[in-house]
Amino acid sequence: MDAATQSYTTFNAPKPLCDAIKLFQSPRPAPTVGCSECDAPSPYSTGPLSASKMETVNQLVATGQFRILKVPLGFIKVLQWIFAIFAFATCGSYSGMFSMSVQCKNKSLSNLNIKVEFEYPFRLHQVYFDAPTCTGGEERQFLTGDHSSSAEFFVTIGVFSFLYSMAALAVYIFAFEKYRENNKAPLIDFGVTCVFTFMWLVSSAAWAKGLSDVKMATDPELLTKNIPACTKEGNECREIHDPVMSGLNTSVVFGFLNLILWGGNLWFVFKETGIIAPFMRPPPAQEKQPAPESFGQQGGYSQEDPYASSQGGYQPDYSQQGSGQPALEEDSCGCGPEASP
């Protein structure tokens, strides 16, 4: 290190300057004097810190079994996670508005733009609007019905389904071996899947009925019939703008799609429990018989010619039964002649 560089390191240099000096030092620099903060980690230094973070991320990714996302067990869980978001988001974030007009016989007492706004959780009995009486005043009108129970129940099931699907995916990816060590975790997963399947059926049906009631309670054409001024002769009431219900209709569709997903996933989770394993044993494998050509090859089975002898050719047996000498017969194992009694 030259004298100019050494002179900059003898005083208490600021932190960024210390880092710059270190970059120009030799691979084995001499210890600096007066720079007490040079050995401390600098916020401007990104080399070792970034490397350690990347190493942690790489280890986390390396331990994950992302192949599980390609099989039905993991792929359907991803769909459950996504569809649960759409279900509770389309319902829980809804806000609508409709408008109507009341034209009195006396034009100066009319109100041609009555706007009514409502939103989730659809406590419509708390929503009101002021309608003219066509006699010089206004009358407050309330909507009918409290549909918060079915809407909140639907959103709650969607939120819990989202959380459970995310937790299950984390277990599948990073702890699938422990998940399959015994059937305890698959049984819990199967039980929770059964519960959510039933809950999606109940909540989707309840919210579909609740949505039908919300549409009836926010129909401007029906509301104008309940305004006293609209029943008097000479006054005219009509709707101007209907509420847009496409978002709520979509939430019901996503609710029943979640029911199909959770119900369809029951089979794949049930297979992980191992209960059906004894009924799915493969048939026993049969031993393959050797080909006939291999009998005469070396190391195979050899077949002796029964008509050959040590002298060559066919040697008839001239011994007779009862001639005093026992007849020679082959034993049952074919090992050689055996004297018959």
Mean local confidence (pLDDT), 101-108: 88
- Residue whose entry in the numeric block shows the structure tokens 């002649």: 337
pLDDT digits (tens, 9 = 90+) for 171-210: 999 988 888 888 899 999 999 999 999 999 999 999 999 9
Tell me: do 34 and 83 sit in the same domain.
no
Q: Is residue 140 part of a domain?
A: yes
Q: What pLDDT, on a 0 to 100 scale, did the predictor assign at position 275? A: 80
Tell me: do 207 and 253 sit in the same domain.
yes
- Residue whose entry in the numeric block shows the structure tokens 């270190």: 22
Strands 95-103 and 236-241: antiparallel
Tell me: do 17 and 135 sit in the same domain.
no
Burial class (CB in 10 A: 0-12, 13-18, 19+), 282: exposed
Q: Cα(99)–Cα(101) distance, rounded to whole angstroms?
A: 7
Q: Rounded to two decimals, what is the model's pTM?
A: 0.64
Rg (the chain; Cα; Å):
44
Q: Closest Cα partner for 1 from 18, 21, 20?
A: 21
Tell me: do 16 and 162 sit in the same domain.
no
Tell me: do 173 and 34 sit in the same domain.
no
Tell me: do 200 and 268 sit in the same domain.
yes
Tell me: do 96 and 152 sit in the same domain.
yes
Q: Is residue 334 part of a domain?
A: no
Query: Is the pLDDT at 282 greater than 70, yes or no?
Result: no
Which range is least confidently modeled, 114-118, 140-144, 232-236?
232-236
Tell me: do 6 and 120 sit in the same domain.
no
Q: Is residue 56 part of a domain?
A: no
What percent of the chain clears pLDDT 90, i.e. is strictly above it?
A: 42
Identity (one letter) of the amino acid at 26? S
Please tell me the chain's helix, strand, coil percentages from 3-state DSSP, rounded to the nearest 5. Answer: 50, 10, 35
Tell me: do 109 and 218 sit in the same domain.
yes
In which band, very low, low, confident or very high, does the pLDDT at 97 lie, cut at 50, 70 and 90? very high
Q: Is residue 57 part of a domain?
A: no
Tally of domains within the chain: 2
What domain range is 233 assigned to?
Answer: 67-274
Tell me: do 32 and 159 sit in the same domain.
no
In which band, very low, low, confident or very high, does the pLDDT at 107 lie, cut at 50, 70 and 90? confident
Give the end of a domain, one of 248, 274, 300. Answer: 274
